[in-house]
Amino acid sequence: MWRGRSRPRRIFLLGMVTELQIATRKVISVNPATGEVLRQLDCASELEVHEAVACARAAQHAWSELGTMRRIALLKDFQHLLHERNSEVARLISREAGKPYVEALTTEVLVVVDAARYLIENAYRLLRDEPVPHGNLAMKTKAGRIVREPYGVIGIISPWNYPFSIPATEALAALVAGNTVVVKPSEFTSLVALELASLFHQAGVPKDVVQVVVGDGAAGAALLNSEIDKLIFTGSVPTGKRIAQTAAARLLPVVLELGGKDPMLVLEDADIDVASSGAVWGAFVNAGQTCLSVERCYVQRKLYEPFLEACVGKTKQLRVGNGMNREIDVGPMINERQLHIVESQVEDARACGTRVLTGGTRLPELGPNFYAPTVLADVTHDMRIMREETFGPVLPVMPFDTDDEATRLANDSEYGLTASVWTRDRSRGDAIARRIAAGTVLVNDVVSCFGISEAPHGGVKSSGVGRTHGRFGLEEMVCIKYVAVDRLPWMKKVWWYRYGEAFTRQMEGLLDMQFSRSARRRLRGALRSAGVLAGKERL
């Protein structure tokens, strides 16, 4: 595992080898609640990233040869170890990412323990060869099967907001399928990623099979440009687009899990108390720094004012503070850059006439990165707060009149990650869910889809390409190979050379026999394909 060790680099100058000590760049791990520096780490250099990938490649054959059942056994050991250490891991996550300890436990550790459970129970069945019966008569002599093979080395580039569950769930799927993995975590949460790698190693996964290269965007770019066979990227849309362009130039397969502007639709038959509690939790969980969080809320006009009143009352009761304190609800934001984005969007909305019902300010008395949970009313789609990803503790609420209008507003976005619909009528909720352009739509809940290990996770439009989690997430980790074995190896195939009139008639017969709507033509086709009828004789 590279921790960005500083070491002399060899430089070739006019045929002479000179040793130079090049200053290594650092990433600084900081507790966002207090500003305390937790550790400084050297960034892995480009060379070190490439070396890590080379080690991963060298280790991959043996890892793949181990077989799915032995890899599942190692996943069980990892799962057990993580369960045993859950509190220690959650504390580290809370210190480095700022989130409340209980959120670290539920949305990070529990999600990973359960993702391991899903793979332990299902990976063997999902990865084994799949026989494929052939419908085409001419191909019935072949036994076909789908074979799922590991890609080789999977690169994982991950963000800071779920620094444990995102790389861990992706790594688990990649590993069980027989790939080796190199993770480049966010520069803000390196310690959590190093802890993840350490857990894998202590569980018995060889060091070169899971490696972490610490660093910023440059280390991510080095991983992208290395000899990896596939990249699973989670992060912002601008970085995702840059990665897609580079990957396209060398046809590197990528999964892109990008940003969201997730809408919540509250229909007039919704339970206001339940929906407002859902909105407040969905908007402020992890201080709103959740790709699936409620980023915009639309409420049927009849419920609008009472819904706002309920949201404001519940928001005012939230206790903001250091995530390590178990008696708080909302932690700090990750850093000043993120705080500034939120602040500027709220100020833009304020300048455009929105009502700030609660919050709308920093809370410097609590620490460097705190922003008050904020509820906004009378927002419009002309405001940045309703168009750009906010990624902070803000709940902007807008009224609508009809279901059609609500659906149109929900779809009026470049993003399409998740959405939620709130109604007492399940079939109405299901019907609206089908009309919303999103990777996932929840009816009467928010955010929790990330905790459903069986559910595919991913977006449409600018929210990304491909899926992680569940069956489809596992499928992303394998190359599909088709193997067809002919059962009659002694027989030349009739469609081989040479062509001629008789053969053409036989093939025309075969086509008619299988696909003609007329029974007579099907019979004639059968006789012609068998060579009983030679020409266009009438039956």
CA 403 to chain centre: 30
- Residue carrying structure tokens 């520096």: 37
Question: What's the rounded Cα separation, in Å, for the pair 286 and 166?
Answer: 14
- Determine whether 291 is an active site residue: yes
Residue closer to ligand NAD, measured from CB, 222 or 376:
222
In the set 103, 108, 170, 291, the catalytic residue is 291
Q: Give 291 or 308: the residue with its C-beta nearer to ligand NAD.
A: 291
Set 195, 257, 295, 389: catalytic member: 257
Q: How far is the CB of 426 from ligand NAD (least distance, A)?
A: 27
| DSSP state, residue 209 | T
Name which of 197 and 513 has its Cβ closer to ligand NAD: 197
From the CB of residue 324, how many other CB atoms can be counted at a distance below 10 Å?
Answer: 17
CA 384 to chain CA centroid, nearest Å: 25
Find the shortest distance in angstroms from Cβ 222 to ligand NAD.
8
Provide the 10 A C-beta neighbour count for residue 347. Answer: 14
Task: Return the residue nearest ligand NAD (CB atom).
Answer: 220
Binding residues for ligand NAD, rule: CB under 6 A, are: 157-162, 166, 184, 186-187, 216-217, 220-221, 224, 234-236, 239, 242-243, 257-260, 291, 389, 391, 417, 459, 464
In this structure, the chain runs to a length of: 539
Q: What is the dihedral angle through the alpha carbons of 342, 376, 257, 334, rounded to the nearest 10 degrees?
A: 30
Determine contact, residues 171/143, Cβ cutoff 8 Å. no
Cα–Cα distance for residue pair 514/137, rounded to 1 Å: 8
Does the active-site annotation cover 257? yes
Comparing CB distances to ligand NAD, the nearer of 187 and 512 is 187
- Residue whose entry in the numeric block shows the structure tokens 């369960």: 83
Q: Least Å distance between CB 315 and ligand NAD?
A: 22
- Would you tell me how many other CB atoms lie within 10 Å of the CB of residue 521? 17
Residue 303: Cβ within 10 Å count? 21
Neighbours of 432 (CB within 10 A): 22
Which residue, 34 or 225, is less far from ligand NAD as judged by CB? 225
- In this complex, which beta carbon is closest to ligand NAD, that of residue 276 or of residue 338? 338
Spell out where 235-304 has E strands.
254-257, 263-266, 296-300
Say how far residue 532 (Cα) sits from the centre of its chain: 58
321 token code pair: 């503070």
CB crowding 397-408: b at 16 or more within 10 Å, else e:
bbbbeebeebbe
Strand 230-234 and strand 210-212: the pairing is unpaired
Task: Considering the complex, state which of residue 170 and residue 512 has its C-beta at the smaller distance from ligand NAD.
Answer: 170
The residues assigned a catalytic role are: 257, 291
